[in-house]
Amino acid sequence: MSRVNSPTPAQPDCQVTREIFAHGLIAILRAPTTAHFPAVVDTLLGAGIHAIEITLTTRGALQCIRDLNAAYGSEAVIGAGTVLTVDEARACADAGADFVVSPVGAPEVVRAARATGMATYPGALTPTEIHTAGSTGAPAVKLFPASAVSPRYVSDLHGPLPDIRVIPTGGISLADIPGWIAAGAAAVGLGTPLIGAAATEGVDKDLAARSRQAVNAVREARAAR
């Protein structure tokens, strides 16, 4: 007999989640408009970052997801961030998003995303919130804002919650990456510390170098574990 409060079965493993976990990085693009996003994504891919999150707070985000999938769908996973409602999740699916990320644990968004076949990563911070988000069947939980805690928090969570994979996001610098990966994070989400002003002002000469630094930081931290 199953328990009355048994959690929803975990979302089946999918290629999108495997890709994100394999590389350990999600680049988050947020700006007033998407004007510079194609050039930014081209630079990120060239440096080895293959998971791209376009936040819905950016004007034109859904059309940008369509365009990026048409241009880079065979070499990248393109998702949507700041997805807060069922309607937004469905619109992301219609735009061809591979995954959706939320800053909060909205179970109805997880259900809507799962129904369309998208991977979905709800947000949470406290152990109770993380357990609740993991119980929706999502393959990973966005730990947000990661700047409110430390990598030790992830390793402590793994004791009582060993089956929930977490993706720390929010306020993570490039120098912080090794600590989070060493603590057991499945991947990390990086916004401004990685992208800099490129999303709003255009690709700068250091974006590729920052991207390679992030890729190497994940690789080296995993090798040292």
Exactly one of 19, 53, 75, 205 is catalytic; name it: 53
Q: Where are the beta strands (DSSP E) in the chain?
A: 25-29, 51-55, 77-81, 99-101, 119-121, 123-124, 141-143, 166-168, 188-190
Residue in 19, 88, 129, 142 annotated catalytic: 142
Is 201 considered catalytic here? no
Distance CA 73, CA 67 (A): 9
> Catalytic annotation on 142?
yes
Beta strand residue intervals within 154-194, DSSP E: 166-168, 188-190
Which of 24, 102, 89, 84 is CA-nearest to residue 62? Answer: 89
Strand 141-143, strand 166-168: pairing: parallel
Give dist(CA 85, CA 111) in Å, integer.
11
Q: Residue 12 burial by CB count (10 A; 0-12/13-18/19+): exposed, middle or buried? A: exposed
The catalytic residues are 53, 142
